[in-house]
Chains A and B, each alone.
Chain A
């Protein structure tokens, strides 16, 4: 057993908590504070992501409530902008990213036959940075001037001018970035150095591959965001003028630096989602993944291209036509490797023996809706159309199709797929299917109609709108509340599974073939692969 995996739990409380042998972690709360076990940390990431998902969701509901009627009913415009900002930051950095890091923690060691993550203590610290960052984000609301109302992109010049809540947010972004970078270094090291004998790179499950590439993206992109917010901070307090127009700075420069991070960030969210889908679809098609090698290459191609397309988020800043053309062509090029992936998923299902349990339903929902989101992305990549649709609800609809129906559907697919292995208990299939269908219907009710609003010219980030937009906004708002209710089915299902779910089989899903299903009992023991398995 490697030295790093054995460092946990030599505390005073040898109480056999967690059902494992000769030495035990601390009991109760201290178990979670001090744990270095990848499964414990994965669990904490997922609970954290779940809580943030509900907090960010509440903010979305407040936004939709205000938009139910034109005019201002419930929120003043400043507070509305603060909610829009926090909703974005919390959902991206608090919910989606930690959810997939949670999957990575649980699954990567079990999928490559490693006993734990490479840096187990660092792993603990990467997680425990998050609650502090989230606290700073929320505390900003109680500062004079409130939370920043600059949108999740934190554009200058607004960020140079706002109150102390902005500084809280900047430090929160620093801490979140540090957490992600350390987590990514850990993931890369684990994957490259700790694979079981015979687990060559090209034999790794695709989920592990997508995380390897994502982790590289994080190491390369997150520091650039840290730089951008650091420049904002020094502009605010230390007299630099990177973005501060008064001293000759240029707010457009911020947009370039931000989106140099921001577009890879889109794939940091999407690639692990692709990874989960690439595990789920073959399992329920009872066929190996079609085009495994091309999936690896397509994922890499997407990652590399993601660094040269950033300015398609800012076609309207007044860049030369040459620049617009370059970013337009580079962006449309990304549709090629993405198309390869979608083709491969469909081809995996082709002539497969399909069954439609909840994880598969979410995966198919992902496949259809993510592709729709990809198509609207393709529409937005075209300069002449984008100039028309820039900053309208069409953009809002587009990125919610890839963030919610993409990343979040994939996260639900992953939770339903792996929950039996993690807990040893089977969720209630009927409730799972209700959760899926209601989520699917209400998701489209919220966001499909926003395409119409955007094409009709409704701008984003504004709490009021002309009367002619009212009908679709009402449909969207009703959808939002339905969507929220559907998530309580998930919560209920989750809690009843944890407390009294039926026992799950070792290989709960007939077609699942990665070594966590074939080599490990269910529930997965606290320590797994202390002796590396030999992969044939």
Chain B
């Protein structure tokens, strides 16, 4: 009799433990919902719509470009290191990437911003970071970024650094 009561309680508690294991996984979509609701995770991979904004010709913002290839045999560099833009002005820059390995390699670029809070004002209309890039052996490619700096950028931000890091997509073996 006692044994049965114990076993029933064991069952309930084991169920709680399993449910909490599931809860850990439920935190994943929950996290992205919260980030979207609060607009904090500005590293989203979706292109921004080309909004028709007024160019704020009275203001200049310096954009600095940085590049890293994380553990990849890729030479990856921006063609211009920095330039000045007016908020609202559609600008195109190019990066150059070269695969030094003798096999095709697939990688994904991830942007990050300094200051991080400037990310949401840096609107990427077109970016190589939206998709995985596969480079043939020895291939060199130019990768464009089309962006607009939102005129709503806070006035204390005069410089935005954008840094792209290429991570190899493991296991793809260049199959894209």
State yes or no: do A and B come from one complex: yes
- Interchain CB contact under 8 A, B20 and A221: yes
Q: Is B140 an interface residue (CB 8 A)?
A: no
Interface centre among B19, B27, B45, B169, by most chain A C-beta atoms within 10 angstroms, is B27
- Interchain CB contact under 8 A, B108 and A247: yes
Q: Is B52 an interface residue (CB 8 A)?
A: no
- Interchain CB contact under 8 A, A320 and B6: no
Residue of A nearest to B40 (CB): A320
B12-31 interface code vs A (CB 8 A; 1 in, 0 out): 01101111111111011001
User: Chain B contacts of A231 at CB under 8 A?
Assistant: 24-25, 28
Given A193-B9, A228-B24, A256-B27, also A246-B17 (CB < 8 A): no
CB distance from B30 to the nearest CB of A (A): 9
Q: Is B102 an interface residue (CB 8 A)?
A: no
User: Chain B contacts of A185 at CB under 8 A?
Assistant: 9-10, 13-14, 17
User: Chain A contacts of B22 at CB under 8 A?
Assistant: 227
**How far does the alpha carbon of A405 sit from the alpha carbon of B66 in the complex, in Å?**
47
Q: Is A245 an interface residue (CB 8 A)?
A: yes
**How far does the alpha carbon of A226 sit from the alpha carbon of B117 in the complex, in Å?**
32
CB distance from A99 to the nearest CB of B (A): 23
Q: Is B148 an interface residue (CB 8 A)?
A: no
User: Chain A contacts of B21 at CB under 8 A?
Assistant: 223-224, 226-227
User: Chain A contacts of B9 at CB under 8 A?
Assistant: 185, 188-189, 192-193
User: Chain B contacts of A225 at CB under 8 A?
Assistant: 24
- Interchain CB contact under 8 A, A250 and B20: no
**How far does the alpha carbon of A239 sit from the alpha carbon of B16 in the complex, in Å?**
29
- Interchain CB contact under 8 A, A193 and B5: yes
- Interchain CB contact under 8 A, A239 and B171: yes
Q: Is B167 an interface residue (CB 8 A)?
A: yes
- Interchain CB contact under 8 A, B2 and A2: yes
**How far does the alpha carbon of A184 sit from the alpha carbon of B13 in the complex, in Å?**
9
- Interchain CB contact under 8 A, A224 and B6: no
**How far does the alpha carbon of A246 sit from the alpha carbon of B19 in the complex, in Å?**
30
Looking at the complex, which one of A184, A221, A228, A323 makes contact with B38 (CB distance below 8 Å)?
A323
A233-270 interface code vs B (CB 8 A; 1 in, 0 out): 00000010010111110100100110011000000000
- Interchain CB contact under 8 A, B20 and A322: no
A344-376 interface code vs B (CB 8 A; 1 in, 0 out): 000000000000000000000000000000000
CB distance from B151 to the nearest CB of A (A): 22
Given A189-B6, A260-B27, also A222-B17 (CB < 8 A): yes
Q: Is B110 an interface residue (CB 8 A)?
A: yes
User: Chain B contacts of A223 at CB under 8 A?
Assistant: 17-21, 23-24
Given A185-B10, A246-B169, A250-B41, also A227-B25 (CB < 8 A): yes
The total of chain A residues at the interface (CB under 8 A) is 43
User: Which residues of A from 1 to 59 have beta carbons under 8 Å from B?
Assistant: 2-4
User: Which residues of A from 192 to 240 have beta carbons under 8 Å from B?
Assistant: 192-194, 219-228, 231, 239
**How far does the alpha carbon of A186 sit from the alpha carbon of B22 in the complex, in Å?**
22
Given A2-B2, A193-B6, A260-B27, also A248-B108 (CB < 8 A): yes
**How far does the alpha carbon of A141 sit from the alpha carbon of B16 in the complex, in Å?**
35
Q: Is A466 an interface residue (CB 8 A)?
A: no
**How far does the alpha carbon of A193 sit from the alpha carbon of B14 in the complex, in Å?**
16
User: Which residues of B from 69 to 99 have beta carbons under 8 Å from A?
Assistant: 71
- Interchain CB contact under 8 A, A118 and B27: no
- Interchain CB contact under 8 A, A219 and B110: no
Q: Is A181 an interface residue (CB 8 A)?
A: yes
Given A222-B17, A223-B17, A224-B24, also A248-B45 (CB < 8 A): yes
- Interchain CB contact under 8 A, A320 and B171: no
Q: Is A534 an interface residue (CB 8 A)?
A: no
- Interchain CB contact under 8 A, B17 and A219: yes
Q: Is B145 an interface residue (CB 8 A)?
A: no
CB distance from A119 to the nearest CB of B (A): 7
User: Chain B contacts of A242 at CB under 8 A?
Assistant: 28
**How far does the alpha carbon of A270 sit from the alpha carbon of B169 in the complex, in Å?**
42
CB distance from B49 to the nearest CB of A (A): 20
- Interchain CB contact under 8 A, B17 and A257: no
**How far does the alpha carbon of A250 sit from the alpha carbon of B13 in the complex, in Å?**
32
Q: Is A385 an interface residue (CB 8 A)?
A: no
User: Chain A contacts of B20 at CB under 8 A?
Assistant: 219-224
Residue of A nearest to B3 (CB): A3
User: Chain B contacts of A247 at CB under 8 A?
Assistant: 108, 169
User: Chain A contacts of B150 at CB under 8 A?
Assistant: none
| Additional pairs, 8, CB under 8 Å, beyond known A219-B16, A223-B17 | A2-B2, A189-B9, A194-B6, A223-B21, A242-B28, A248-B110, A257-B24, A318-B116
23 contacts between A and B (CB under 8 A): A184-B13, A185-B9, A185-B10, A185-B13, A189-B6, A193-B9, A219-B16, A223-B20, A223-B24, A224-B20, A228-B24, A239-B170, A244-B167, A246-B107, A246-B108, A246-B110, A247-B108, A248-B45, A250-B31, A256-B27, A257-B24, A320-B38, A320-B40
Chain A residues at the B interface, C-beta cutoff of 8 Å: 2-4, 118-119, 161, 181, 184-185, 188-189, 192-194, 219-228, 231, 239, 242, 244-248, 250, 253, 256-257, 260-261, 318-320, 322-323
Identify the 6 closest CB pairs spanning chains A and B, nearest first. Answer: A227-B24, A246-B167, A223-B21, A223-B20, A224-B24, A185-B13
